[in-house]
Structures are given as C-alpha cells and as structure tokens.
Structure 1
Amino acid sequence: MKDRREANIALATRYYEALASGDFEALADLHSDDVVFNLVGSTPVSGRWEGKAECFGPLVADMVVGKLVPETVQFSRKWRIMCADEERVVGLMYGGGTAKSGHEYLQTYCQIMTIKDGKIVELHEFFDTALVELALNDNPTVKGPSEVKRPFDF
C-alpha cells in the first residue's frame, strides 16, 4: 500500500510541476480519458465536467486560461501536498495571472484527486468563486474583492 501512496504523491507532484511550467499537454496526460472534474460554486465554470476533451477544452482552455493574458499565466506558483493515501491526494495550490478583464486572477485552489491505474480519474476543486466571477467573468459581486486581514499560509 505504501508504494501506491508514494506513486500517487509522485503523480500529484508531476501535476503541480506541469501547471508551474505551463505544460498543459503533460497535465492532460496525467488524467484518464473519462476523467470527471467537480468544481465548487455556481459560476460558469462550476459543476460536473466529464471527459478529458470537455475538461481541457471548453473548461480549462476557454473558460479559465483563455480569459487570462497569456504572458502572465503561471499556475502552481506555490503548492503543497497536504495528504495522500492509496486512492487520493489532497493538495493546495496558488497561481493564475492577469485576466483580460484587467483584474488580477491569483487564486488559491484546494484539489482532491482520485487516482486509479496511475491516472487522475476524478478531481474535486475548491476555490474563491467571487474571484472567478470578478476576474474571469467581469461580474463583480456585491461585496467585491478585499484584502484578507488574516491570510493563511500553506
């Protein structure tokens, strides 16, 4: 069992390294063809996305990365694996870029990856939905962005 846990940590490490380098082809290769993304909230990117083509096409390429200024994009500026077992890895990641709307999109993500046969088969992702609306959808919330008075670090 320890070997599977270590293999899952190695896969998650490759996941975050691919995001850090902007290698979305390598990132996609870490996922099964029928991967499922479950994204928190009620934004246009929220919900259940099924299949690698849908997850990395309309979702990642168009609705997230496509809304950012290309030369500013760097996900996984900071990341940490929080825990892992024989089936899952939980990680935190910080990154993003400048949105084409002019707003900064520097997001903190929590990912829960379910791994089978050396591939990510399901991803649950949690993030600041107000920031998604403001930066990616040019839809400010009533409160709007603010500096966090007690930010956490990981």
Structure 2
Amino acid sequence: MSREENIALATRYLTAMSAGAWETVEAMYHDDIVVHMAGATPASGKLVGKEAVTGDLIARQVHAALDPARMHFARRWKIMCADEERVTIIMEGGGPTLSGDVYDQTYCEIFRFLDGRMIEMHAFYDTVLIERCLFANPLARPRPALPPLDY
C-alpha cells in the first residue's frame, strides 16, 4: 500500500478510537492480526488473531478496569512517520479506572496494514502504570504526573 493509504487508514483507526467507535476499530483488525504488547505485564506478549485482541486484550483486560463512560483513548495523537509498510504514531489516552485511579497513558504504536485492515501492531507504553491501574499491582511509589508530551 502507499504511504498515503497507510496514513489514511491510521487516521481512520485513531479517529474511531477517539470517538469510542469500537465496532469500527474492531472492523479494522484483520482476522489474522498479530499484536505485540511490550513489557512483562499481564497484558504483555504476543496476541494472535482478532478474537484474542478484541476479546482478551481489549474487553477482559483493558476496558474491564476502566470507567467506560469516561475513558477516552486517542485523546491526542500524532503520526510520527509512515512509509509503504508501516505507520508509527504517538498517542495519549485513558481515563478513570473503576477503582478510582487515573489511567492517563502515552503510547507509541507501530501499525502495519494489509488489504485495508490492520495486520500487525507493536505497542509501547508505561508498564508500571498498566500494572497499577489495570491490574491493581502497585510496583513503585507514585510519582507526580508528568506534563503531556509536546509533539
């Protein structure tokens, strides 16, 4: 696919995510998608197939810990680079957890598309924040919140 087509698909994906249009987000996943989640958290590792990504990762692990009415993924994003194979983005999003914590995360994600759908994603993020907010595992003393990235 062309660089422009990949940018358009990434923009469509992030816009849908920002709007909370999860059916659109899920429809953009290829049936054979592979997602690589960084770190050693319960959400980390390699997920293979659309059901593993939408059912296990998104529904059971991420959305289950967050206040669905107030979460907002892809609050801000920027496409950092793109070519004929991949698009790299930086994204901020999250929201309050059901336990009363605040999950405000910054992600770096690398997308690869095939036939108009996402076939592969690599995701990098703050793993301590994931442990604390999504899995009730405080690994370190809380630090002051950092200002948003200026990109």
TM-score (norm 1): 0.93
Change (3 A) 1:151 1:77: closer
The yes-or-no answer on 1:152 pairing with 2:149 is yes
Give yes or no for contact 1:95–1:106 (8 Å, CA) kept in 2. Answer: yes
Contact residue 35 and residue 121 of structure 2 kept, 8 A:
yes
Structure 1 residues 71 and 51: CA distance shift in structure 2, 3 A: same
Q: What displacement does 1:30 show?
A: 1.1
- Equivalent in the alignment of 1:99: 97
1:67-110, Cα deviation, whole Å (9 max, x unpaired): 10111111011011111000100001101111112110010000
Matched letter for residue 35 of structure 1: I
**Corresponding residue of 2:63:** 65
* Residue 12 of structure 1: aligned partner: 10
Matched residues in 2 for 1:49 and 1:74: separation?
Answer: 23
- What residue number does 2:131 align with? 133
Aligned equivalents of 2:37, 2:125: Cα separation in 1: 8
The aligned amino acid for 2:23 is E
Distance in 1 (CA, whole Å) between partners of 2:140 and 2:55 is 31
**Contact 2:128–2:140 under 8 Å retained in 1:** no
Deviation for aligned residue 1:151? 5.7
- 8 Å Cα contact 1:83-1:90 kept in structure 2: yes
Helix, strand or coil at the partner of 1:14: helix
Q: How many pairs does the alignment contain?
A: 151
Match for residue 55 of structure 1 among 36, 45, 53: 53
Runs of 4+ in 1 over 6 A off after TM superposition: none
Q: Is the 8 A contact 1:101 1:136 kept in 2?
A: no
Deviation track 1:2-34 (CA, whole Å, cap 9, x = no partner) reads: x71100000000111011000111001111101
What is the rounded CA distance, in whole Å, between the counterparts of 1:151 and 1:26 in structure 2?
27
Shift of 1:145: 3.5
Identity %: 44
TM-score by length of 2: 0.95
Secondary structure of residue in 1 paired with 2:131: helix
User: Gapped runs of 5+ residues in structure 2?
Assistant: none
Specify the alignment match of 1:34 in structure 2: 32
**SS of residue in 1 equivalent to 2:133:** helix
